[in-house]
Amino acid sequence: MGAGRLYLAVAVGGFRRYATYRLATAAGVFTNTVFGVILVFTYLALWEERPGLGGYDQAQAVTYVWLGQCLFATLAIQGGGAEKELMERIRTGEVAVDLYRPVDLQLWWLAGDLGRAAFQLLGRGVVPFLFGAVFFPMTLPTDVGRWAAFTVTLVLAAVVSFAIRYLVALSVFWLLDGTGVNQALMIAGVFFSGMLLPLNAFPGAFGEVVRVLPWAAQLQMPADVLMGETGVSGALAFQAGWAVVLLAAGRALQSAATRRVVVQGG
């Protein structure tokens, strides 16, 4: 009970921290909207050439674009969430200081990152999405159940996204320099989560593979649930499965890292 209130407080703090940067938020909204427009026209041209690409019609392709813009910052698809700060704390050794607090590190960072994601969704994601819905044809569900299921997929997407980034951040304990992994994270995030092209449109064996990687849990799953392209329970199971596996891996890596810190001093 007490622990729940602690992590809730951390999440609220995460939300409020990002809320203080209003100018950055406004700039983000603008960028995502402009980018969305460019991408929509690119997609429309592509779907003109290849109708039904990835099993989507044009309205679905447009919906996919705007959902991507909505979730780009929310899921920190190219990084820039809690992991950025954690890497910095590891690099400077400040992470040692975090250890004397009576908290669980992974839950602490997860809570803070979910708070951040919640802010990014409301402050930065919703506007481009609504913009898209108003000015472009989109495929949106009309029943409440599907919207509810979609909301759950968003939460799970945020957890999977955090779990990936947490693992990457912890690697800095051994690599000492986060620049390389950060870039890898950014490229992998943008590509494998389907920011450039829906994973459904990837051909052959390569497509088969990218669709089962954890990044598929981030944008592809919520999109397909929203547009009724996949079964809800299957999507949730896929996301939850990756969340559990990655969080468990993060926990194992975290205890190895902690051991290293308390022996080696960071």
Partner 1 sequence: MGDEAFIEVDGVEKVFDVRRRTGFLKRERRRVQAVDSISFRVARGEMVGYIGPNGAGKSTTIKMLTGILTPSGGRLRVAGIDPSRERTRLAHRIGVVFGQRTTLWWDLPLIDSYRLMHRMYRIPDARYRENLDRLVELLGLEDLLEVPVRQLSLGQRMRGDVAAALLHDPEVLYLDEPTIGLDVMSKARVRAFLRELNAERGTTVLLTTHDLQDIEQLCSRVMVIDHGRLVYDGALAGLHEVGESERMLVVDLERELPPIEAAPARVVKVEGPRQWLAFPASESAAALVARVAADHPLVDLSVREPDIEAVIARMLHSPAESAQVPREDVGRVIS
Site for partner 1, rule CB under 8 A:
2, 5-6, 9-10, 13, 16-17, 20-21, 94, 96-97, 99-103, 261-265
Residue 103 binds which entry of partner 1, ligand ADP, none, with Cβ cut-offs from 5 to 8 Å by kind? partner 1
Of 30-38, 202-210, 216-224, 258-266, the window that binds ligand ADP (rule: CB under 6 A) is 258-266
266 is a site residue for ligand ADP (CB under 6 A): yes
Residue 147 binds which entry of ligand ADP, partner 1, none, with Cβ cut-offs from 5 to 8 Å by kind? none
Taking Cα atoms as reference points, which of 201, 242, 234 lies closest to residue 218?
242
Residue pointed to by tokens 């980018």 = 35
102 is a site residue for ligand ADP (CB under 6 A): no
265 is a site residue for ligand ADP (CB under 6 A): yes
Calpha distance 222→71 (Å, rounded): 10
Tokens of 49: 């050439």
Calpha distance 266→90 (Å, rounded): 7
37-43 contacts at long range (C-beta below 8 A, 24 or more positions apart)? 39/65, 39/68, 39/69, 40/65, 40/66, 40/132, 40/136
CB of 254 within 8 A of CB of 104?
no
Mask 205-244, x = binds ligand ADP (CB under 6 A)? Answer: ----------------------------------------
Closest distance between ligand ADP and the C-beta of residue 169, in Å?
19
Binding stretches for ligand ADP (CB under 6 A): 264-266
